Amino acid sequence: MYTKFSLSGYHFNGPLLAGLLLGLCTLISEGGCSHVPYPDSPQWRNGRFENPPDWPRFPTVREFLRWIATRPRSFPDFAPRVVENDGQRLREERKRPSVTWIGHATLLVQGGGVSVLTDPIFSQRISGIYSRFAAPGVALAKLPPIDAVVISHNHRDHLDEASVKALGPRVHFVVPLGLAAWFRQRGLTVVTELDWWQTTEITTAAGHKAQITLVPAQHWSRRGLTDDRATLWGGYVLALGGVRVYFAGDTGYPAAFKEIGRRFANLDYALLPIGAYEPRWFMCPQHISPEDAARAFHDLGARHLIPMHYATFRLSDEPMDEPPRLLQQALGKDIDHLIELAIGETHWQVGTPPFSDLRP
């Protein structure tokens, strides 16, 4: 038996209301950041960061409440594919290009002696609400030394405070505009902010180099109740060890996939999200579906597609085992370019092309 509550005409069962209230309490507890102006950024408009005006609009608060009120009450059991990975080979072969899926949007990209981690989340839960279906594919303590971490945006399933603190103050964090202050307040002072299309170069203690460019994504940001879009969001193009890797973070479609593919030809890997897409009327502007991922892969012109952002947390309403099946169907003849990793699995590049930097 579920107890129901009414809010503005919507009826919430007890567990859903509890989850909503817990999420609101989490927002209140951290609080929002003050809006620092960024007049030199084309994305800064009307006192906050914005997507281009011709991209789809985001759902309203009323539409969010409608989604919460109508979510399924229960879901089928699910267990993701997992392979054991103790990290030893990753620690020993840092020069060989590789991509390891740790879970959700957390991937380890290595090459040329450089190790880059994307959107690290090693915690068991997000905001105390969403629990992992599988432990991280490589334990944080088993990772090779991390040279750089890229953060796509400040949502809690992509910016996990406990995880970035555990990585420590020596790691170089690369973040979108507005996020550096959050890191510095937590003693993480080696941080570089980027606007869309800006590039930074990192150099490891051993002299190995990598180039990191923030590229557009069709998304948004909020950490507290008063900081809606006070910080930017985006994806990244990484150049290290002779390969180019595109990491999308969170994004809707059409975003800037064609422009990214034009500016950064010969992408070796596109790390694209394929989960958290239902219901489409609510998720479409902010999360691509598997079918959108197939279109984005074609727009990018990349050699290989590695799907991510699924099978780790239940964030939306689609069956947890559905995203890879729909992606395979949508790819059609391009399925030979798909590299579908299990959590913990590593793809090792066979052969390394000559190094080229990110300049067109």
pLDDT, tens digit, for every residue of 260-269? 999 999 999 9
Give tens-digit pLDDT for 1-37: 333 333 333 333 333 443 444 444 444 445 444 568 9
Both tokens assigned to 147: 């040279």
The whole-number average pLDDT for the span 324-351 is: 95
pLDDT value of position 59? 86
Give tens-digit pLDDT for 95-154: 999 999 999 999 999 999 999 999 999 999 998 889 999 999 999 999 999 999 999 999
Label residue 351 by pLDDT band (50, 70, 90).
low
Label residue 293 by pLDDT band (50, 70, 90).
very high
Give tens-digit pLDDT for 46-55: 999 999 999 9
Whole-angstrom Cα distance, residue 49 to residue 37?
Answer: 9
The β-bridge relationship of strands 10-13 and 346-348 is unpaired
pLDDT value of position 17? 42
Whole-angstrom Cα distance, residue 240 to residue 212?
Answer: 9
329 φ/ψ angles, rounded to the nearest 5 degrees: -65, -40
pTM attached to this predicted model: 0.90
The whole-number average pLDDT for the span 160-169 is: 98
Long-range contacts of 193-202 (CB under 8 A, 24+ apart): 194/234, 195/38, 195/40, 195/41, 195/42, 195/43, 195/232, 196/41, 196/42, 196/43, 196/232, 196/234, 197/263, 199/358, 200/174, 202/114, 202/147, 202/148, 202/172, 202/174
Classify 29 as helix, strand or coil.
Answer: helix
Give tens-digit pLDDT for 227-261: 999 999 999 999 999 999 999 999 999 999 999 99
**What structural domains does the chain harbor?**
88-348 (3.60.15.10)
Q: Which helix (H) or strand (E) holds 261?
A: helix 257-263
- Determine the straight-line distance between the first and last CA of the chain, rounded to whole angstroms: 61
